[in-house]
Amino acid sequence: MKQFLKNPLPTVRPEELKGKLIVIEGPDSSGRSTQIELLTKWLELKGYPVVCTGLKRSILVANELELALKGNVLSPRTLTLFYATDFYDQLENVIIPSLRAGFIVLADRYIYTLMARAIIRGAEREWIEAIYEMAIIPDLVLYLSVSPSVLVERTFQAHQQLDYWESGMDLGFSKDWFTSFLKYQRKMRLEFKKMEKKFQFEIVNANRTPKSVDRDLKARIARVLNGS
Amino acid sequence: MRKEDAFNQRSEIKGRLIVVEGTDGSGKSTQAHLLYEWLLGLNYKVFFSEWNSSEIVKGATRKGKKRQALTRTTFSLIHATDFADRYERQILPMLKAGYIVICDRYIFTAFARDSVRGCNLEWLKKLYSFAIIPHITFFYRVPLEVACERILSGRPQLKYFEAGMDLNLSQDIVESFKIFQGKILRTYLSLSRQYKFTTIDGTKDVHYQQTLARKIMEEKIDLSRFRKRGAV
């Protein structure tokens, strides 16, 4: 039966959430979207209904959140709360109805990225965990771990430039984007390592080829599907 | 001492935070306005902050309300986002700069309104734990019938969320408003003990209430500290 981080959402009964929630975490360019595409096809082929969700996709605030990020006008705390609004909107309107209907929900990142980002920016751990205390604990969290140096190469290959937020430029580590990117990604990785035990992640080595990562992920997901 | 970072701006607060709270129709906004004019006229460093006035989040809130797409949780979070923006952009810097900040509604409005909507009060308190507790919280207490009478005679157009229509209390918007306001009043009363509100009888003459509030402020705060430099 599904559990919540601390308290259930007021209107949700855990026993009616029959589907599976599988979360893929990892930085940009770690291969999340490629893997999710492959997993969706694979699951559907096996006859499982699939719904994909991710951050910044809510109808409610996604556009406004995008604007705020572009303008870089909100404080870290305000941004954290804005992201929380976006998350709960999807939790209540996409994830929970899908789980009720027995779908497999593949989440392209979840609260863990949001918590790590906020903590690196100085948020009190207790505060950020309280915000997400009504989030559902996933059936499986797979963290695609990529070393920062590999990540840089992949990012250049795909986008020819580094992203402002993924480089942590708002934190003022360095005026140099490359230096800042490496430092920020190392910190994020460290934070995920810290969360690994507490939230029971499985860390997947994603320095490998997409194909071998794919094989690895499928094996782990199969275990969860067969276990029920 | 903890290093300051983007989240924890704990350097000394030299200013004073004065909050007015109360149900709709309690007359609190009038009182807040008069307090502001008083201090302004005396040439004190004073700033007035209204509930729900941040530009960036406003669009999303309006959209959500229009489509009635908000759940109790997202309703609460979007208002918290809005509050955090205003708090960090205006209220906190003003307090650090040594202003008297008068807030027409503060976190207690969210506590009362959102917990009546079914959010967990303990969760709400944690959500807003970054906001300082006011130096004075004036609570304008008015019996439910009086507040409703004031609102319903002056402004018959009730808004959907204001009337708590999302709670299915009643099909009739006026009836729903009354029940909703009654629940909010009861929550305020229990918050009042916990957060040591200074209660003012909102049925009394407006000028009398104002004189009383000014006297309380003079007793509790050394106002002369807030005189603008160069003022006579």
Q: Is the pLDDT of residue B3 over 50?
A: no
Judged by a CB distance cut-off of 8 A, whether residue A74 touches chain B is yes
**Band of the pLDDT at B2, cuts 50, 70, 90?**
very low
Q: What letter represents residue A98's amino acid?
A: S
A-B interface: how many C-beta pairs under 8 angstroms? 97
Say if residues B140 and B31 touch (Cβ distance below 8 Å). Answer: yes
Best mutation target among A5, A12, A58, A60 (most B Cβ atoms within 10 Å) is A60
pLDDT of residue B50: 76
Domains of chain A: 14-147+200-215 (3.40.50.300)
- B78 to A85: CB separation less than 8 angstroms, yes or no: yes
> Could you give the CA distance from residue A216 to residue A34 in angstroms, rounded to a whole number?
14
Residues in chain B: 232
Q: Is B48 helix (H, G, I), strand (E, B) or coil?
A: strand
- A9 to B73: CB separation less than 8 angstroms, yes or no: yes
DSSP letter for A176, please.
S
- B89 to A75: CB separation less than 8 angstroms, yes or no: yes
Say if residues A128 and A84 touch (Cβ distance below 8 Å). Answer: no
Question: What percentage of chain B exceeds 70 in pLDDT?
Answer: 91
| Helix A76-90 with A62-71: angle, nearest 10 deg | 160
Whose CA is closest to A113, among A178, A175, A184? A184
> Could you give the CA distance from residue B202 to residue B29 in angstroms, rounded to a whole number?
11
DSSP string of chain A, one letter each residue:
---BSSS--TT--GGG--SEEEEEE--TTSSHHHHHHHHHHHHHHTT--EEEEETT--TTTHHHHHHHHHHT-S-HHHHHHHHHHHHHHHIIIIIHHHHHTTPEEEEES-HHHHHHHHHHTT--HHHHHHHTTTSBPPSEEEEEE--HHHHHHHHHHHHSS--TTTTTGGGTS-SSHHHHHHHHHHHHHHHHHHHHHHHT-EEEE-SS-HHHHHHHHHHHHHHHHHT-
Average the pLDDT over B70-94 and give the result: 91
Q: In what order do the strands lie in the sheet with B198-201?
A: B46-50, B100-104, B16-21, B136-141, B198-201
Say if residues B22 and B202 touch (Cβ distance below 8 Å). Answer: yes
The predicted-structure confidence for B19-74, as pLDDT tens digits, reads as follows 999 998 899 999 999 999 999 999 999 999 876 556 767 777 777 777 777 889 99
Chain A residue at shortest CA distance from B4: A122
Say if residues B231 and B43 touch (Cβ distance below 8 Å). Answer: yes
- B60 to A64: CB separation less than 8 angstroms, yes or no: yes
How, if at all, do strands B16-21 and B100-104 pair?
parallel
- A130 to B123: CB separation less than 8 angstroms, yes or no: yes
> Could you give the CA distance from residue A163 to residue A160 in angstroms, rounded to a whole number?
10
Query: What's the pTM value of the predicted model, to 2 decimals?
Result: 0.89
> Could you give the CA distance from residue B111 to residue B123 in angstroms, rounded to a whole number?
10
Average per-residue pLDDT in chain B? 89
B7 → closest Cβ in A76, A84, A170: A76
The predicted-structure confidence for A102-118, as pLDDT tens digits, reads as follows 999 999 999 999 999 99
Strands (E), chain B: 16-21, 46-50, 100-104, 136-141, 198-201
Question: What percentage of chain B exceeds 90 in pLDDT?
Answer: 68
ipTM of this predicted structure: 0.87
* Residue numbers in A near B64 (CB within 8 A): 60-61
Residues in chain B whose Cβ is within 8 Å of chain A: 5-8, 56-57, 59-60, 63-64, 69-74, 77-78, 80-81, 84-85, 88-89, 118-120, 123, 126-127, 129-130
Judged by a CB distance cut-off of 8 A, whether residue A190 touches chain B is no
* Residues lower than pLDDT 70 in chain A: 228
Q: What letter represents residue B124's amino acid?
A: L
Say if residues B221 and B16 touch (Cβ distance below 8 Å). Answer: yes
How, if at all, do strands A202-205 and A140-145 pair?
parallel
pLDDT of residue B7: 63
**Band of the pLDDT at B5, cuts 50, 70, 90?**
low
Q: Terminus-to-terminus CA distance in chain B, angstroms?
A: 39
Domains of chain B: 16-223 (3.40.50.300)
pLDDT of residue B102: 97
> Could you give the CA distance from residue B137 to residue A66 in angstroms, rounded to a whole number?
36
pLDDT of residue A180: 94
pLDDT of residue B1: 33
The predicted-structure confidence for B157-216, as pLDDT tens digits, reads as follows 788 888 888 889 999 988 999 999 999 999 999 999 999 999 999 999 999 999 999 999
Tokens 């409005």, residue?
Answer: B109
Best mutation target among A6, A69, A89, A115 (most B Cβ atoms within 10 Å) is A89
pLDDT of residue B9: 55
